[in-house]
Amino acid sequence: MRYIVLIAAFCCALTSCSPTWFKDFKSDPVQQTEMLLGTASSIQQIAITVFAQLKPLLPTDKQPVYQAKFDGANVALSTAMEAVRVAVQAAADAQQPNPDLTKVVQGVVDAIKHIKSVVDEVRGLLRTPAVSTAPNGSTPTPLFVEEPIGYPALDTLVTNLK
């Protein structure tokens, strides 16, 4: 089931937010903002799935610390997305044809980068061996060798927002 959700989210996001979305944003900010929110929602769901795979691999004493970091980033993203919705509704109520949504949209982009940075930080911890060499002189294998399911999609979506 998790695979189906990730594939659906990735496909929707690929069709909703192209790398040139900001250029289109200037000509139709409301439509582009809605597309950004769809992409942000997909990124949020994928980040939750990826983090859920990584967290159990952390040492138990570090899990609450990184859970709190991730929860903070997740709440910040949800809050930023809601701020965009409120701004779009306010523009619609005021009948503004081209509202300036730049600040609230930038808040979503910043929150997306933050949630990904938390996932990347945890991922980096799991890819760094605890010791530089094993007792027999060989290089130890990192704890987490393969990418978590959904990480490539998360990375691609966040990269395409730039």
Q: What pLDDT, on a 0 to 100 scale, did the predictor assign at position 2?
A: 44
Global confidence as pTM = 0.74
- In the predicted structure, residue 27 carries a pLDDT above the cut 80: no
Over residues 121-132, the pLDDT tens digits come to 999 888 755 544
d(CA 41, CA 25): 18
Each residue's pLDDT tens digit, 57-112: 898 999 999 999 999 999 999 999 999 999 988 988 888 877 888 899 899 999 99
